[in-house]
Amino acid sequence: MKKILFAASEGVPFIKTGGLADVVGSLPKCIDKRYFDVRIIMPKYTCMKQELKDKMVYRTHFYMDFHWKDEYVGILEAEVDGIHYYFVDNEMFFGGDRPYSNDALYEIKKFTFFSKAVLSALPLIDFQPDLIHCHDWQTGMIPVYLKERFQGNLFFHDIKTVMTIHNLKFQGRWGVKEVQDITGLSDYYFTSDKLESFKDGDLLKGGLVFADAITTVSKTYAEEIKTDFYGEHLNGLLAARSNDLRGIVNGIDYEQFNPMTDDKIPFRYGPIDFRKMKPKNKRALQKELGLPENEKIMMIGIVSRLTDQKGLDLIAYVLEELCHDEIQLVVLGTGEEQYENMFRYFAWRHGDKVSANLYYSDTLANKIYAACDAYLMPSLFEPCGLSQLIALRYGTVPIVRETGGLKDTVEPYNEYESTGTGFSFANYNAHEMMAAVRSAERIYYDKKREWNKMVDRGMAMDFSWQASANQYQEMYDWLIG
């Protein structure tokens, strides 16, 4: 039996701020338990819900030399849905009302502590992994410390590491002097072929240099990050390690996102009856949001962080024009003030066309996926993207830009061959996006049978975690041997 330890800063059901938590919580459940013993280690945040903290039991504690003093490390454990979790406890680092702060240097200190604590705890919890699967920059120091100070100990001798990039934009970077002080690493580690990056110490770069293999969350993103535009100054390193880099697209939890059993939506449906039931969900949502009730009008959904990365500047450019089309636009999310204000303004100016819901709610998100005809996602870059996968599952046709995971998961509609699961455009350009939206409108209104066939194909796609889990298992086998 091969032993795998996932190390991450968040994971469902214990704590979630983004897609990383879904990956960490869902993927281990799908790995074949006959061959792999997969466990998860993460910080014990004080802000976790009390009923989840009540599941944890104390395992051990010790003191660890970190940043010039001895720091307390408590280890707790819990079992949820058949998965074994460990938690690193230290209230100074993991206290507070949110998992992350806005103080970048403090975050680097906190997750350097976490990385060192993970390795220090292993001999005490009687779990000797064959491989540690590290997620994002918060665990970047694990491969570095493993090679730098733990390798001499026989216990750690054969442990392999994998580094998964969920979003290359976030790297854990700060001035070399401060990072060196926090990590306790010698000058040897702060050269441009190791942790130094443009006069900064870079924790993600350290992980990418020292890990035995690197993955990211879609095949196209794995290619994109070797280029200047997407590479965030690490493209040279990623190109040099391209033989060790692979893209495995994320999945979604098909039990959680299932329009046939979803208790958050008013009318459940599947591939057989979506023609009848989706319009009922649309009417219910129109009523709830105060939009004119009309099941024939094309409804477009956006559930997103409202940031430049998500292509909101393209939408800003053509939103007035879009509001003159025969559509309704339903938006859910929070983010940059300019975009929140933009949607507020358009909801006021075109109250019959635009509904702006500037907060976050899982329930409303599912209602939007179930009610809308199309889903707009014109991202500047998108490592994987989960929203388009949920949209396909709910029979909502994605309109996306061809980047990262969007390109890998949405097949562009071909009118002549009657193939494809959505609409896409290639260049980051508002007029190209608008042309894709107008193509979708034309098929929706003039060729409804074609539209419904596209919905059928989308709902038949399999983006469950099982397909991804098989690829991860292959990689684990290849590394562990």
Mean predicted confidence (pLDDT) in 395-407: 98
Contacts with 53 (C-beta within 8 Å, 6 or more apart), sequence order: 44
Neighbours of 265 (CB within 10 A): 22
Give pTM, 2 decimals.
Answer: 0.94
DSSP state of 451: H
pLDDT at 284 over 90: yes
* Burial class (CB within 10 angstroms; exposed 0-12, middle 13-18, buried 19+) of 61: middle
pLDDT for res 241: 97
| Residue 457 near residue 269 (C-beta atoms within 8 A) | no
Dist CA 410 CA 330 (whole Å): 21
Q: What is the number of residues in the chain?
A: 481
Q: Is the pLDDT confidence value at 481 over 90?
A: no
> Quick check: 377 and 401 in contact, CB under 8 A?
yes
Q: Find the mean pLDDT for residues 287-311.
A: 97
Model confidence at 18: pLDDT above 90: no
Beta bridge partners of 213: 162
Question: What pLDDT score was predicted for residue 323?
Answer: 97
Assign 249 a pLDDT band (cuts: 50, 70, 90): very high
Token pair 């401060």 in the structure block, residue: 178
Q: What is the pLDDT of residues 39-77, one digit of tens each?
A: 999 999 999 999 999 999 999 999 999 999 999 999 999
Express each pLDDT in 447-465 by its tens digit. Answer: 999 999 999 999 999 999 9
96: left (phi over 0), alpha (psi -120 to 50) or beta: left
Of residues 136 and 481, which shows the higher confidence score?
136
Q: What does the pLDDT read at residue 189?
A: 98
* Cα–Cα separations (whole angstroms), residue 337 to 306, 334, 358, 359: 9, 9, 10, 12
For 81-128, the pLDDT digits (tens) are 999 999 999 999 999 999 999 999 999 999 999 999 999 999 999 999
Over residues 180-189, the pLDDT tens digits come to: 999 999 999 9
Please list, in sequence order, all residues whose beta carbon lies within 8 angstroms of the beta carbon of residue 124, skipping any fewer than 6 positions away.
60, 62, 75
The predicted model gives 343-366 an average pLDDT of 96
Pairwise CA distance, residues 183 & 110, whole Å: 11
Measuring CA to CA, which residue among 124, 142, 125 is closest to residue 133?
Answer: 142
- Closest among 158, 140, 247, 257 to 202, alpha carbons compared: 140
For residue 37, the 8-state DSSP code is: E
Tell me how far apart the alpha carbons of residues 437 and 377 are, in angstroms, rounded to a whole number: 11
Roughly how many angstroms between the first and final C-alpha of the chain, as a whole number? 12
* Domains recognised in the chain with CATH numbers: 2-251+466-480 (3.40.50.2000), 274-462 (3.40.50.2000)
As a whole-number percent, the residues of the chain with pLDDT over 90 amount to: 97
